């Protein structure tokens, strides 16, 4: 009985987390078949970030995930009105974070870090990992890049 109760609590916890996502993001996650391979996760707070990462004046979302098959942690980024899915970690090697972001201790949106690409200042996601220098994840118009923070 305790096992069923525990499973029920976990199931409802995942449902409530998914319900917290903006509707467009929840639908996009399902439509693109991501829920078959990844679980939404909340191993850090906040469990997702909303910000315009690609400069198109619409809010994008970065959400923590766990790859179901391997248990590897990472981030999925979805842009509104974009068919692409950007998977960072979660079984896909990305920057110094590798294919498993298990050692990521924190993440946040940064606007005051000046990473310049094509003379444009970019908004990014600062990530902090155990035993690694802080980095900012930025979009260059085609893909996401890992930029180590100096100082």
For the stretch 52-90, pLDDT in tens is: 999 899 999 999 999 999 999 999 999 998 999 999 999
Burial of 15 (0-12, 13-18, 19+ CB in 10 A): exposed
pLDDT, position 114: 61
Q: What angle do CA 101, 102, 105 make, to 5 degrees?
A: 85
CA distance 15 to 8: 11
């Amino acid at each position: 009985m305790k096992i069923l109760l525990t499973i029920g609590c976990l199931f409802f916890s995942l449902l409530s987390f998914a319900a917290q996502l903006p509707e467009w993001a929840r639908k996009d996650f399902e439509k693109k078949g991501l829920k078959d391979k990844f679980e939404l996760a909340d191993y850090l707070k906040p469990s997702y970030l909303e910000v315009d990462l690609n400069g198109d004046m619409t809010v994008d979302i970065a959400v923590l995930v766990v790859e179901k098959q391997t248990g590897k942690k990472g981030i999925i980024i979805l842009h509104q009105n974009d068919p692409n899915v950007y998977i960072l970690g979660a079984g896909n090697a990305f920057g110094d974070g590798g294919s498993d972001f298990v050692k990521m201790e924190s993440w946040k949106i940064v606007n005051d870090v000046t990473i310049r690409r094509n003379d444009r200042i970019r908004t990014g996601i600062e990530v902090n990992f155990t035993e690694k220098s802080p980095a900012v994840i930025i979009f260059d118009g085609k893909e996401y890049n890992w930029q180590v923070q100096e100082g």
